[in-house]
Amino acid sequence: MSATLFAVQTLNGLQLGILLFLIAAGLTLVFGVMDFINLAHGVQYMLGAYLAVAAYAVTGTFWGALVLGLAGALVIGLLLEVLVFRHLYDRDHLDQVLATFGIILFLNEAVKAIWGSTPLTLPMPEVLDGSFELMDGLLYPVYRIALIVAGLAVAVLLYVLVSKTRVGMLVRAGATNAPMVAALGVDIRRLFMLVFGFGAMLAGFAGILAAPILVVEPGMGDNLLILAFVVIVIGGIGSIRGAFLAALIVGLVDTLGRGFATDIAKLALSPSAANDVGPAIASMLIYVLMAAVLFFRPSGLFPARGG
């Protein structure tokens, strides 16, 4: 468990945390404002990646893929909102779960039908292709650093947007008490469509950022969706600040846990037993963390809704 390895794992953890934040941000706002549970948010992440791969085939540059991918994710997000989701806002959570589950089945299968189930990759932009020396003997890819920086920039942008602008004020007010905001004459439906499209685009952005370093395959959003749920639950539904902190915590705990659980287990167990137990414990860590947070704070760390 050397310092170098620890540093690398910490950076990887931050990276996962940033991706999770980008997904969780849209999810938490949608929950917060409209009390709408959108399981299909994970497929938005997947669609972002696939659209970018498709756009890369056309434009030949990463930046073209990024722009077209974002636009595509936004359009699909808005389309889904108009066609399906807006009819579900007044339904109970069970209906929302079922309908969005149907959309997941459809979109995962559609992606499989169009692009096949073999994993695809998106080449890195040349500018960011390379690595630099973080400390003695530690080379770290530039792209991964850029990913963390881009994610942090979006986080700052979101923070400013939500806490300093008029739209952000409405979103916060909507998360605290949506009926009251509507009663004050704000078109809450349009506000929500805006939030929804923006959230879909952020998830798509995460997918595009992840595409060069992870494989692009059908169902790639499903696991991250569930991690994003954990993030939202820990952070408190509707809270961007909570989502940010919880995403970093979950990213770090999960990555470091997977990196070092076996080593830690070896302190107490025989090596072969540790090899069995380590990964099992590592995969349970974030859920244990979530259970612990909920036990002490049933509404998460930073609940947006009063009471």
Partner 1 sequence: MTTIPPKTPPQTSPQAPVEAPAGMATAPVAASRRWTRETLIALTAFALFALLPVLAAGLEDTFMVFFAIRVMVFAIAAVSLSLILGFGALVSFGHAAYLGLGAYSVAILAEHGYWDVTISLPVTLLVCGLFAAVTGAICLKTRGVYFIMITLAFGQMAYYTATSLSAYGGDDGLTMWGRTEILGSGMLSDRTTFYYVVLGVLIFCYVLARMIVASRFGRVLQGAKQSEMRLRAIGIDPYWYRLVAYVIAGMMAGLAGALLANAAEFVSPAYMTWHRSGELIVMVVLGGLGSLAGSIIGAASFLVLEELLSHVTEHWRLIFGPFLVLVVLFGKGGLMALIPGGRKND
Q: What does the binding site for partner 1 look like in residue numbers (CB under 8 A)?
A: 31, 35, 37, 39, 84, 87-88, 90-95, 97-99, 101-110, 112-113, 222, 226, 229-230, 232-233, 237, 275-276, 279-280, 282-284, 287, 290-291, 294-295, 298-299
How far, CA to CA in Å, does 71 sit from each of 45, 151, 198? 13, 18, 11
Q: For partner 1, which is the closer residue by CB, 97 or 173?
A: 97
Q: For partner 1, which is the closer residue by CB, 207 or 238?
A: 238
- Tell the smallest beta-carbon distance from residue 65 to partner 1 (Å): 26
Q: For partner 1, which is the closer residue by CB, 9 or 262?
A: 262
* Angle (CA) 92 94 95, round 5°: 70
Q: For partner 1, which is the closer residue by CB, 138 or 182?
A: 182
The residues near 20 (Cβ < 8 Å, ≥ 6 apart) are: 224, 227, 228, 231, 247, 250, 251
Distance of alpha carbon 188 from its chain centroid, rounded? 25
The residues near 52 (Cβ < 8 Å, ≥ 6 apart) are: 65, 66, 68, 69, 122, 207, 208, 211
- Distance between terminal CA atoms of the chain? 44
- Tell the smallest beta-carbon distance from residue 246 to partner 1 (Å): 13
Choose among 173, 210, 306, 237: nearest CA to 26.
237
- Tell the smallest beta-carbon distance from residue 302 to partner 1 (Å): 14
Q: For partner 1, which is the closer residue by CB, 153 or 292?
A: 292
- Tell the smallest beta-carbon distance from residue 286 to partner 1 (Å): 8
- Tell the smallest beta-carbon distance from residue 179 to partner 1 (Å): 13
